[in-house]
């Protein structure tokens, strides 16, 4: 009937306009209307599938954008491990995008750098502790042996000038090394 054909043509025209404007949901509704008028027509069914694909892409893009925004925030906060996870999530959503892949490489570099910084800082802390411990033990040894140290200093100041005269007053076997 001419009335059905006119309704179908109007629905298709409206659907095509909405499709061109990327109003996927509106276009799908009109293609569905047209398909209801003439169920045997293939065009509206094909267009409905295209609308569904575009709707899914748009939802995927929204998830991608959210993951990238979250990852960028974490990256700026130097939370590289969690940023990397979000960039990986984004990369899995839209595999053709290069940005998350590049950011994953940057995250790996920062994580490795943090690991080296941690190793360095741990080594400095261990050396600092060892130095403090050695100073403490030296202080204890000096306190415990202050009489012996004072005697050694006194002997060294009195023996050294005579040794240089080679008078053999003090035998060389005397354990006063360096004097």
pLDDT digits 0-9 by tens, 119-177: 666 677 777 776 777 677 666 666 666 656 555 555 555 545 544 544 444 445 444 44
| Per-position b or e across 20-57, b if 16+ CB within 10 A of its CB | eeebbebbbbbbbbbbebbeeeeebeebbeebeebeee
Q: How confident is the model at residue 33, as a pLDDT?
A: 96
Looking at residue 76, what is its pLDDT? 96
Q: What percent of the chain has pLDDT over 70?
A: 69
pTM above 0.75, yes or no: no
Residue 115 φ/ψ, nearest 5 degrees: -65, -45
Nearest to 35 by CA among 46, 20, 21, 19: 46
- What's the average model confidence in pLDDT over 58-74? 94
For the chain, give the mean pLDDT: 81
Q: Phi, psi (5° rounding) for residue 177?
A: -65, 140
Question: d(Cα 32, Cα 13) in Å, to the nearest integer?
Answer: 13
């Amino acid at each position: 009937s001419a009335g059905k054909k006119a309704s179908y043509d109007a629905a298709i025209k409206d659907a095509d306009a909405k499709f061109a404007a990327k109003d996927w949901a509106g276009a799908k509704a009109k293609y569905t209307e047209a398909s209801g008028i003439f169920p045997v027509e293939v065009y509206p069914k094909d267009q409905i599938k295209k609308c569904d694909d575009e709707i899914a892409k748009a939802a995927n893009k929204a998830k991608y954008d959210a993951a990238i925004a979250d990852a960028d925030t974490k990256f700026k906060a130097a939370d590289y491990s969690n940023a990397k996870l979000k960039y990986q999530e984004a990369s899995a959503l839209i595999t053709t995008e290069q940005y998350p892949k590049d950011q994953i490489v940057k995250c790996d570099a920062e994580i490795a750098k943090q690991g080296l910084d941690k190793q360095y800082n741990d080594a400095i802390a261990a050396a600092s502790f060892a130095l403090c411990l050695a100073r403490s033990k030296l202080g204890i040894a000096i306190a415990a042996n202050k009489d012996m140290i004072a005697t050694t200093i006194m002997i060294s100041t009195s023996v050294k000038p005579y040794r240089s005269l080679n008078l053999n007053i003090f035998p060389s076997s005397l354990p006063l090394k360096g004097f």
